[in-house]
Chains A and B, each alone.
Chain A
Amino acid sequence: MNPVRVAIAVARKDLKSEWRTRELVPALAQFVVLALLIGNFGFQVDTHNASAIAPGILWLALVFAGLVAFGRTFAAEREQASLEAMLMTPASPVAIFAGKAMAATVLLVLCEVVLLPALTLFFGTPLGGDVVAAVLLATVGMAALGVLFAAIVARVRARELLLPLLTLPLWIPFIVAGGQAVQSAMGLPGSYQEAMGLLLDFDILFVVLTSLAARFVLDE
């Protein structure tokens, strides 16, 4: 079986089931808008400090939306024990993992489609290609790590507790570099090019590492 076709088939299955139920994306969209609301009341935001506060709120909202999204990636499989069925087919576990990760990335990107314009609307910060590129680059690596650890905790009792505990420390490199990139894109000091270069390096490193580890996580 061609692993690329398996991955695409798994991703299509996940996206189709999301399209039919329309559960996760509307919930995530509402979640990020609520996070912006809380950010607005938690800080005294005005036109002078908005560009200093907005990047922080952007990453907080995105990280927690990501945790919710990745926590759900294996929920359906677990409820119907369909992961075991998928693993019994000749498809390689790495291809199945890649498909799940691709679908989760698309869902998180859909959530960003709501988050980024809402941030611009409520905080008046610029929404340019540089901000979008930084967020998208960080999403790739975060999704790879998030889905790997979602798969890891899927069979553990306290999975809701463990997923943030394991994933957040590993996401910190993406928050450091992505935070820097968005800050400089919004007019704060710091080099945008260097931050984007680092983000790209982290993406490559963690996508390779997670694909190597996927075999041990899914293959039971």
Chain B
Amino acid sequence: MSRHERWAAGAVALMLVAGAAIFLYAPTDYLQGPVQRIFYLHVSSAIAAYGCFTVVLIGGLVYLRRESLVADRFARAGAVVGVVFTTVTLVMGMLWAKPIWGTYWTWDARLTSTLVLWMIYTGYLLVRRLADPGRQAARIAAVVGIFGFVDVPVVHFSVTWWRTQHPGPVVVNDALPPEMLATFLLTMACTLALAAVLIAIRYRIETLSDERMHVAEEVKVITAAPEPRMAP
């Protein structure tokens, strides 16, 4: 097993432990019933997504300052993984909202800002695909990543001003019974570990694809046809 395969196996094992805690250890919610169990992974993956986008932000800032390829690869890896976790958050939230709120979607502050977050970083991934790879793509993406990070709290704030029905932060308000809190903290730790492993694997993929591009360019230079001789 390679190093990355060992990490991946470890992350899968941790997620199984979290799953066991969610379904076997945590008590069933009195009001919401089993649907409430969505909460553990829903909130954890939202936090993991914010973590990933923080990696994109820092990677972008460091890239603009030093043109460091390592920082840019971390930003690329963070964006992909962050979009995955945002998608998980959105889908699980909708599954929870249907039985509890009676609708899959409502234009609540947190839902709106999470959707905008998803839009911004899928746009970020599109920029990476459409811009010419190399310095141009890295610079453009860095600026997009920085603006995206600033925009999300602003959207959240502006929508909260008028309407919100999303449940408030139950964890920091001490509203969870101890078993639920323990399950949540365990799930969050496992999800963050999973995110870290995914970023590490994605970083490796980005390194390899950079190297492949570099090699392809060298081959092009070496095998370029010699200039045709002028006829005497």
Contacts and interface: CB of A to CB of B under 8 A. Distances in A.
Interface of A: 145, 148, 152-153, 155-158, 161-162, 165-166, 168-170, 172-173, 176-177, 180, 190, 194, 198, 202, 205, 209, 213, 216-217, 220
B162 A157 contact: no
Contacts of B155: 172-173, 176
Given A155-B136, A169-B119, A213-B147, A162 B154 contact: no
A205 B146 CA distance: 13
Contacts of B159: 176
A198 B161 contact: yes
B144 interface: yes
Contacts of A202: 154, 158
Contact of B158 (A145, A153, A176): A176
A162 B126 contact: yes
Nearest to A177: B158
A20 B154 CA distance: 40
Contacts of B120: 169-170
Given A176-B159, A180-B162, A190-B162, A152 B150 contact: no
Contacts of A176: 155, 158-159, 162
A198 B154 CA distance: 10
B154 A209 contact: no
B127 interface: yes
A34 to B, nearest CB: 26
B143 interface: yes
A202 B161 CA distance: 14
Contact of A173 (B131, B144, B154): B154
20 contacts: A155-B131, A156-B130, A157-B130, A157-B131, A162-B130, A166-B144, A169-B116, A169-B120, A169-B148, A170-B120, A173-B154, A176-B155, A176-B159, A177-B158, A194-B161, A202-B154, A205-B154, A216-B139, A216-B142, A217-B143
B36 to A, nearest CB: 31
Contacts of A153: 140
Nearest to B159: A176
A169 B130 contact: no
Grouping DSSP codes into helix (H, G, I), strand (E, B) and loop, the B interface class, with mixed when no group exceeds half, is helix
B47 interface: no
A170 B127 CA distance: 15
Nearest to B109: A176
B51 interface: no
A169 B142 CA distance: 17
Given A169-B151, A173-B151, A198 B130 contact: no
A193 to B, nearest CB: 12
Nearest to A198: B158
Contacts of A190: 162
- Among B126, B147, B148, B150, the most chain A Cβ lie within 10 Å of the Cβ of B147
Contacts of B142: 216
A3 to B, nearest CB: 21
Contacts of B132: 156-157
B114 to A, nearest CB: 12
A181 B158 CA distance: 12
Nearest to A202: B154
- Among B119, B126, B151, the most chain A Cβ lie within 10 Å of the Cβ of B151
Contacts of A161: 126, 130
Given A169-B123, A176-B159, A194-B161, A213 B130 contact: no
Given A152-B140, A170-B148, A173-B158, 11 more contacts: A148-B143, A156-B136, A162-B123, A162-B126, A162-B130, A165-B119, A166-B144, A173-B155, A176-B162, A216-B64, A217-B140
Nearest to B156: A173
A218 B18 CA distance: 48
Contacts of B116: 169, 172
B140 A170 contact: no
List of 8 A-B pairs having minimum Cβ-Cβ separation, nearest first: A169-B119, A176-B158, A165-B123, A158-B130, A156-B131, A169-B120, A173-B154, A173-B158
Contact of B143 (A152, A165, A172, A177): A152
A21 B131 CA distance: 31
A165 B139 CA distance: 17
